[in-house]
Structure 1
């Protein structure tokens, strides 16, 4: 069974995601021809998103790595990036087994009414699997790793349920829940920080959403033009010549224009499935709503998300250099910050000023946590027999989030009992949010 699953994952997300969408659509009663077209359309959108992200990472990513080498040479812990998280997780038995565990347990929870999220974002099962590997690395026990996997999955569904309505309304995705746990982690930080911003005189009066900025500043507030300028600035700081600076500027501008169109195609394929899921639950689950869990890639094309992400590149490098005690050099994750901060934007009300300030504060916590977690993350790579190409400590800035710190810190201080308590609390919250609170309402 594990061999079959490993083969399936080995097909790549551009192949297995359309297959999963087709199967889910058929289960919800969508006609075969419509289900096949939905799967193909999602696959095309996924390929398009991949091409745009590759375009961004191979151009802007190379430039910002040169910036890192130029300005952050005193930092000793290398950010190897979350991009290796999937291959790392799915190269282990824990990582492969999570596919069966998640799908079966998730379906059971949906039927029991303990979650509204049916997660089909198989690729991003890697994050709960990564938490399981962290538990395994800390304790040396595969059994504790399996327990951590179950707790992480329940936590993922809880966060998706809690924030689905706000995120769905902001991005305009009815019936869709974002289950990308790395992205969901930032919401817990954004909510209290936005409350603080609401109570700071002056800052609480600034209207800084993308549309307002566009109206006030004309071409200078247009996200495509901002992409051009940011690309040029990064090229200058990377030490590029004039031709490369111009090329980087145009590439970054192109990403700002193309990304939303690829997301729209992705959603075009998902909408028939979401509508069929709603109709199916109305018939078979007493009208109880079920949301289809998908990747945060659907949200990164939003103008405020893209603008904030690009501005965070130089900000993160500056913070890494000036923060006392930080040892992490942002490197591999510089081109993937969008996936860590995308879901924070709705809770900053789409306000670019708040988003930049809030995400900068979040970056401070991520740098310190990724520094502290570096020994654990390095052990995870060793556990998976993954060659990271370095003999020193490695980490991932985007994995320097509170769930990783919570699992690692709890197991290091309290042990497996603490993990059981966390699991019981998460399960209780799932039941409260989806059964008790709903019944009271």
Structure 2
């Protein structure tokens, strides 16, 4: 077991841009796509991830977060909990005891669910198993029991895999990704909220008629509706609020005009990197689809589970994300009781919206309403979990940069993580019975749905 854990820990440490090409090349060969074609597809995906990370980490994670920090200083706003970002959260998760076994454990759970027809998703995005480990690490702290932490991680994975199944048809239609699902621990947690809010809006006369269509807006406003100009305008406003001048600052601050160009670049470059990801995924996805139809006719459709990064380039998602950046800052400072200042994870807002966009059928109005709700709720969750996250960081000797308390928007504000953690705290872990029963019920219901879908599919083919 130690050797297995060490092997998967080493694989995970390579990073997603290296792990995904290896995994996709192996999968492509197994599914009959051929080595050369599979290798090219895997490398293309890896390059897409490198480009996406460069854009998001630099333009949003550094330049945008720097502008927000300048706004905080300029308006003398003080909050006590620092948003340290998802890289820190993932390091804390994977450094925990639960994190050391999460990859082989997560793969085993996924295989068992595929064999029992309780999921349609083959989740090859093993790097993002850290989201499950994060939940497990927090539960292990509140219960002082590693076994409960491992159970919490498994419950989290089961729920997210089923959410990936249920949203896959919408993802296929909205993103143009046939055979792909997004079982992402962060993005998936907001899908139930999006379904609920969308259902409520459908019942409200007048409100249910409002539709902000970003695609048609681009046509109506001509060049001023183009993503690059929308991004530039938002960047300009952030630069002005940050107090930046029209020339670079003495301490290296970008100019207002530079901020405009940077945010315009975000709107252009992220879709291009996402398109590169899709280009690489298609050969493996097609081969997997053909393989499943040929060898597993009683199992219905099988999806390849991927990182939600593949959906960050959608024009509606990106537009809403840039609008919600200043909104999130505003919310952070007006919500009574919130203690988290959004900084590093502002770059994660597009990931938060990836499944929301297809669920609201690309309606920007509904998407923004859901976005405001999940951000507001998320700040309270991140505030509530801050002591646990700070404790988890101390357990793995994470350098908190002098901050007394830390949290994050990614997973620190995750409603699914919060529910499992707080229920796990009840009765020294006995409360985990509740989410466990819910996860089992979801799995049984999902199996019935999958078998029914497979039967209907085979009847059509016959």
TM class, shorter-length: over 0.9
Secondary structure of the residue aligned to 2:178 is coil
Shift of 1:229: 0.3
- Offset from partner CA, 1:231-255 (integer Å, 9 cap, x none): 1111111111113111111121112
- Structure 1 segment 341-420 matched on structure 2, within 5 A: 341-399=353-411, 400-420=413-433
Secondary structure of the residue aligned to 2:122 is strand
Greater Cα offset, 168-177 or 1-10: 1-10
1:66 is aligned to: 70
Greater Cα offset, 230-239 or 280-289: 280-289
Q: Tell me if structure 2 keeps the 8 A contact 1:64–1:313.
A: no
Secondary structure of the residue aligned to 2:281 is helix
* Inter-partner Cα distance in structure 2 for 1:439 and 1:337: 36
Q: Tell me if structure 2 keeps the 8 A contact 1:305–1:341.
A: yes
- Structure 1 segment 137-156 matched on structure 2, within 5 A: 137-156=141-160
1:217 is aligned to: 221
Shift of 1:391: 4.5
Shift of 1:295: 0.6
Shift of 1:437: 6.2
Q: Tell me if structure 1 keeps the 8 A contact 2:139–2:424.
A: yes
2:45 aligned with 1:42: yes
- Structure 1 segment 2-81 matched on structure 2, within 5 A: 2-56=5-59, 57-71=61-75, 73-81=77-85
* Inter-partner Cα distance in structure 2 for 1:69 and 1:298: 35
Greater Cα offset, 411-420 or 297-306: 411-420
Shift of 1:395: 1.2
1:232 is aligned to: 236
Q: Tell me if structure 2 keeps the 8 A contact 1:116–1:434.
A: no
Structure 2: which 5+ runs fail to align? 248-254, 457-462
2:90 aligned with 1:86: yes
1:292 is aligned to: 304
Q: Tell me if structure 2 keeps the 8 A contact 1:83–1:333.
A: no
Q: Tell me if structure 2 keeps the 8 A contact 1:64–1:334.
A: no
1:256 is aligned to: 267
2:106 aligned with 1:107: no
- Offset from partner CA, 1:190-239 (integer Å, 9 cap, x none): 11212232334443222311112112222332221100000111111111
Shift of 1:73: 2.7
2:181 is aligned to: 177
Greater Cα offset, 237-246 or 384-393: 384-393
* Inter-partner Cα distance in structure 2 for 1:290 and 1:436: 13
Shift of 1:15: 1.3
- Offset from partner CA, 1:124-148 (integer Å, 9 cap, x none): 1110010110111111111111111
The number of aligned residues is 441
* Inter-partner Cα distance in structure 2 for 1:86 and 1:110: 26
- TM-score where L is the length of structure 2: 0.91
Structure 1: which 5+ runs fail to align? none
1:118 is aligned to: 122
Greater Cα offset, 293-302 or 257-266: 257-266
Secondary structure of the residue aligned to 2:181 is strand
Shift of 1:410: 0.5
1:266 is aligned to: 277
Greater Cα offset, 281-290 or 107-116: 281-290
* Inter-partner Cα distance in structure 1 for 2:91 and 2:423: 26
- TM-score where L is the length of structure 1: 0.95
Secondary structure of the residue aligned to 2:212 is coil
* Inter-partner Cα distance in structure 1 for 2:18 and 2:297: 34
1:313 is aligned to: 325
Q: Given the superposition, is the C-alpha separation of residues 48 and 74 from structure 1 closer, same or farther in structure 2, using an over 3 Å criterion?
A: closer
Greater Cα offset, 209-218 or 141-150: 209-218
* Inter-partner Cα distance in structure 2 for 1:358 and 1:154: 24
* Inter-partner Cα distance in structure 2 for 1:296 and 1:224: 22
Shift of 1:72: 6.2
* Inter-partner Cα distance in structure 1 for 2:62 and 2:319: 18
* Inter-partner Cα distance in structure 2 for 1:82 and 1:419: 25
